[in-house]
Amino acid sequence: MEIKSKKNKIIKIAFVSILIFILLILAAFWSKYSDKIAPRTYLGSEDVSGMTAEQFKDQAIASLDRATCTFQFNSSSTTVSPSAIGLDLNLQDTIDGAVGFDSFKDYFAKLNFKDHRKIDLKISYDKKKVSSSLRDTFANDFSPPKEPEIHYSENQSTFTVTPGSSGTTISDESIERVCNKLIAKLSKVELDENQSYPIDTQEVEPSISESEANIVCDKANAILDSSYVLTLDGVEVSTLSRATKATFFTIAPGKENGTLKIVPNDEKILSYIHDTIAKSVSITMVDKKVVMQNTTELEVLQEGKDGRTLKDIDTICKTIHDAIVDGTSLLYELPVTKTPFTITKLDQPRERWIDVDLSEQITRLYYDNNAIAEYVISSGLPNTPTITGTFHVYLQVPVQNLSGNNFYHPDVKWCTWFSGDFGFHTAYWHDNFGTPQSHGCINMKENEAKAVYDFATDGMRVVVHK
């Protein structure tokens, strides 16, 4: 009995010792591999046993970077890396599944001294990114759909629709199928470089329907049919033409997919009002100039004219903008600012004389020291310069023929001669006033040459200078 009891005690001690030994081994295994990859673990054909998270990260990235895949679309093919087309390695998920132990169950699963354990790469893809990348790669192998176009015909003075047509593109279903196949191979690092992945085509319709284009085209033509009339003091100044109104808006994609909208072109509207309407209604104020003797008016040198300028241009533009948006007609009274002319009274002069400034290309008419008028001229060219100095008018001819070296101008009006062949006269053969242009004479516009002719008298002083 005593022998049996001693035997049982030995068995218990042995059992406890073995258990403690096993626990020590398990604890040592846990301690060694809690932040590393368990033994007999492979990533593809690479042994990654005992790697830390950082080492395994580098290995996983390198494995994916070495991989290539070939896509075939119609008669074309291309070989690229998976990451280049949008397949992404989920590093943290991959590392979490390979390094350390999530639980006791995971621990005992990795405590494998018999079989090799394979690690799968965790790979995902962005369908839009993959699709965009492949469409760029095979851009020459498919035709995008042609959207219906709305354009203005100058010959017909109307908007018309050019129908769109369907195109071809890469099939979304085939992209999904190919990506799933690739991920299945890549996750196990088993990609066959000789295998190609065919991609199919699918028909794609224009994003804008022809009916939507026709509806918007009708709205655009309704704007052209609407009357846009601008008045001043109740009198019509301008009725905008269909061609002008057609420049006042564009047709652009709407907020909702597959829609179009009419968008006022505020820049074109402003340009038209500023460059056309403002110029047509504007009048430059001209002072009235009179020669006085005490309180008696002796001579009117220049009739006065009230000035007028367009105002509130931004308001005008907004009114046209709103009419386009609302699709309504427009009758609008233009706002203007009027500036009454002033009267300049000049004492009876002791001398009337003419000044020619060649540097400024301007001729001025003087009463004593008061310039009563000035005109832009064209003096002599460098090789036929206008003489400088003080001269006196010696001859005036209403109309005469002028000729010289390599020129002949018949019926030249309002000639006022002050020194030999130098004088003032009309130049109907050019309109480049403000720049030297002549053979030495002072070229002027007809009405301004007549003003000099009427102002001048025999013997009047003419000063020409630079």
Helix H, strand E, coil C: the string for 359-371 is CCCEEEEEECCEE
Nearest to 380 by CA among 435, 423, 440, 426: 440
Q: Which amino acid, one-letter code, is at 20?
A: I
Mean pLDDT of 202-213: 91
CA gap 42, 47 in Å, rounded: 4
Count of other CB atoms within 10 angstroms of residue 456: 23
Q: What are phi and psi of 233, to 5 degrees?
A: 55, 35
In the predicted structure, residue 22 carries a pLDDT above the cut 90: no
State the pLDDT at residue 113: 54
- pLDDT tens, position by position, 382-421: 999 999 999 999 999 999 999 988 899 999 999 999 999 9
Q: Which of helix, strand or coil describes residue 228? A: strand
Q: Which whole number is the average pLDDT over 373-384?
A: 95
At 75 the pLDDT is 76
Q: Quick one: pLDDT at residue 48?
A: 67
Task: Say which amino acid occupies 342.
Answer: T
Position 193: which residue type?
E
pLDDT score of 126: 79
Question: What tokens were used for 173?
Answer: 């279903």
The amino acid occupying position 184 is A
| Rg from Cα positions in the chain | 47
Q: Of residues 302 and 383, which shows the higher confidence score?
A: 383
pLDDT number for residue 104:
44
3-state SS assignment for residue 321: helix
Interval 297-323 mean pLDDT: 92
> 464 burial class (0-12, 13-18, 19+ CB within 10 angstroms)?
buried
Distance of alpha carbon 422 from alpha carbon 434, whole angstroms: 18
Residue 379 has pLDDT above 60, yes or no: yes
pLDDT at 221 over 90: yes
pLDDT (0 to 100) of residue 44: 73
Between 42 and 442, the more confident residue is 442
- pLDDT tops 90 at residue 244: yes
- Asked if the model's pLDDT at residue 43 lies above 90, the reply is no
For 91-103, the DSSP string reads HHHHHHHHBS-SS
Considering only residues 22 and 365, tell me which one the structure prediction assigns the higher pLDDT.
365
Q: Whole-angstrom Cα distance, residue 217 to residue 341?
A: 50
Give yes or no for residue 456 having a pLDDT over 80.
yes
DSSP 160-195: EEE--B-EEEE-HHHHHHHHHHHHHHHHTT---TT-
Q: Which fold has domain 211-344?
A: Ubiquitin-like (UB roll) (3.10.20)
Give the tens place of pLDDT for each residue, 156-183. Answer: 999 999 999 999 888 888 888 888 887 7
Q: Which CATH class is domain 349-465?
A: mainly beta
Residue 88 has a pLDDT of 74
Whole-number Å distance between alpha carbons of 307 and 338: 6
388/356 Cα distance (integer angstroms): 9
Which of the pair, 34 or 398, is modelled with greater confidence? 398
Q: Among the listed ranges 189-193, 259-263, 308-312, which one has the minimum average pLDDT value? A: 189-193
Mean pLDDT of 321-330: 95
Is residue 376 predicted with pLDDT exceeding 90? Answer: yes
Instruction: Name which of 347-351, 377-381, 393-397 the model is least confident about.
Output: 347-351
% of the chain beyond a pLDDT of 90: 53
Residue 287 per-residue DSSP state: -
The secondary structure of residue 113, as a DSSP letter, is S
Say which amino acid occupies 188: K
- 74 has a pLDDT exceeding 90: no
> Are the C-beta atoms of 183 and 175 separated by less than 8 Å?
no
3 state SS of 31: helix
pLDDT of residue 315: 96
> Would you state the pLDDT for residue 289?
87
The larger pLDDT score, comparing residue 300 to residue 359, is at 359
Structure tokens at 390: 């003080």
At residue 13, the pLDDT reads: 66
CB 304 within 8 A of CB 343: yes
DSSP symbol at 335 = P
H/E element holding 114? none
Contact indicator for 122, 92 with CB cutoff of 8 Å? no
Instruction: Say if CB 117 and CB 43 are below 8 A apart.
Output: no
Cβ pair 198, 223 in contact under 8 A: no
Determine the Cα–Cα distance for residues 429 and 169; give it in Å rounded to an integer.
Answer: 64
**Are the C-beta atoms of 141 and 76 separated by less than 8 Å?**
yes
Indicate the average pLDDT of the chain: 85
Q: What is the pLDDT of residue 329?
A: 95
In DSSP terms, 162 is beta-bridged to 149
Say if residue 96's pLDDT is above 80.
no
Q: Which string of b and e fits 332-359 if b means at least 16 CB within 10 Å?
A: eebebeeeeeeeeebeeeeebbbbbbbe
Maximum average pLDDT range among 27-31, 53-57, 131-135, 151-155: 151-155
* Sign of the four-CA dihedral 240, 244, 249, 251: positive
